[in-house]
Structure 1
Amino acid sequence: MDDTSGILDEALERLHVSGPERLGRLTNHAPMAVEALAAHGRAGSVHRWLDRYAPRLEEFPSAVAPVTAENWREALGDPRRAADWIGHFGRELAVRPWRDVLAQWWPRLLPGLYGGSTHPVIRVGHAVRTLLSGEETGPRLTELAHGLGYWAARHHTLPALTPLTGAGGAAAALDAVRPLADQSGGFPVLLARVEALPVWAAAVTDPDEARLRLTELVRAATHRYATHGHGEETMLVHAATAPNAVLRTLPALPRALWAPSLHAAWTASAAVTAMYSPTEGLPCAPTTLTDEELVEQALAHGDEHVIKLTDTALDVGDEQARAAAVRAIELSVPLG
């Protein structure tokens, strides 16, 4: 991570006076985007990018009442309590190792991965990467508190889904997902329409197998964006970035949580695919861009989802994944 001057920590401190959302429902993507830029050697551009994004930020929300060990269940899934939840995790992380806090709360939060359009778990995944790859600084621990707090506030579970015939591989399983007949409306409206999904990897219980399958899912969803991203250029990004956030978090979690994490990540990726996929894919031309050139183009474009999909594509690291990132650049509106 290119962060020798502490630029990432400075950027996170700058952002922690802002709330996790704006306009009551749209996610603040800046902490995720600046972490991705720093991770790929563009720390020197972080503050300039933030200056462009800053008009989208809103003030940190007001607190309602402290979340405690006794009352946390009643506050779970209440977006009005975002500040309360962030404060709770800030206090927890000040006195306990962050891995212990994560291990305690991950199984509590995992069933509600779908809230906030999956952005909370993505934010947590970026925060965990900073802690695993560098120093456990105050701003990075605070960022984890913000991510976990946002997740708790937007916690949203799914009803039982009807299992459909699946497929052996992740790519085939995503192809087997039936797009919703009516794709009008926002994320919560569409999510409520998802009633059935193909079964995939449901029998996996071995942690190492779960990690392999999750890696396969991230690759398949990223590749699929290259041919299907035109269905909804922004929201389909999450079919890849949400499971990748889970994959990034696995090394910090007890191995017993890896298989449940796979199953939740599959459901999230498949649900997003059902909600936004077009009925037909389109050919996607290969790209000759290097990783460095791809990051530079994503940075110049500036859209936060383009930056985050490029980040995931570079994790996958093959030609089809890089082509998916180029496709996102072509489809998406640049940051003003």
Structure 2
Amino acid sequence: MKTKHIHKISKGITLLIVLSCVAALAAAGQILYESSGISSFKLKQAEDGSRVIQRTSQDYQTFRSYSEVDGDQLYLVGSAKTTEQYLSAEGISGSISWSVRKGERLEQVLWGKSEVATELNVHDNYPVLVSGLGGCCAEVTGYRLFNLEDGRLLMSFNDFKYRQRVTQPFSLEVPNSDLAVRYIGLISQDSTRDRDFVTPAAGKKAVLLIKYANEMLRQKLQVDMEVADGYAASVLDVKLEKDPAAPNSDKIEFRDDQATLWNIDGATNPAQVSGVILTVTIDAGLGAKTIKIPVKNDRLDLGSAQIPGGVSIQPLVQLGVF
């Protein structure tokens, strides 16, 4: 019995030594890149006597991609955010500064930016990041979609589902293809930013901007409509649907705001991008009106759009459409 007891103690000591060695090796591992920041919380009193919560935080988000040419790539988005929130009123304000790195040791700084914003989110699957500016009361958070590699602004948009974390507008992805992801976004007059509307058609008010982009903004359309006295236009619903007129559109799959275009699986020509319809329902005090714009030949096709009475659409940007 004593021999067995000694044997158990010996095995326990051996295991402890092995674990200690593993921990020592891990601690001695080479650090390829390191960064740190400061987080803080302050409860302040403004000159008018109201109380204000100020938060400062550092965040690190990563994105990984793989290609036969570049292999496995790791991106790091490091950001510093400061927000202020008044306890006696709705709304939030803030600013964010961020930089994007990549490389074996994250040694390559790709780009950086500072702007008035209250949130920053990196997409899980697409090489993009989104900044958002919250606001007050009935304002809708204005989002901006940036290319992760070079910082190019692809579009601004609103999220009409009011999700907690937003990483994209609508997207169209062609499976088994090198074609870039297409994005469709909308901006309303309630947006906290980027309400770059132009003079509306006679007798109407500008109510919505609709944008289409891939590696850059390719289309921007303005929706003008008749608005009843004392009313403002409200976006009731925005969604993507399968276009029954497009060949094989029944193969298209939807997941939240992402559409996978299996109808053109493996396509190499941008002109093949088609198969969905953007459907928007708006009420401006004269009854709900629904606009339907199909995507054809890699563009929002106004020639095939269904536009109800009292509504008109004017193209503001038309780049490289087929």
Q: TM-score, normalised to structure 1's length?
A: 0.23
Higher RCO (CA < 8 A, seq sep 6+): 1
Structure of greater Rg: 2
Compare the two structures and name the one with the higher strand fraction.
2
Q: TM-score, normalised to structure 2's length?
A: 0.23
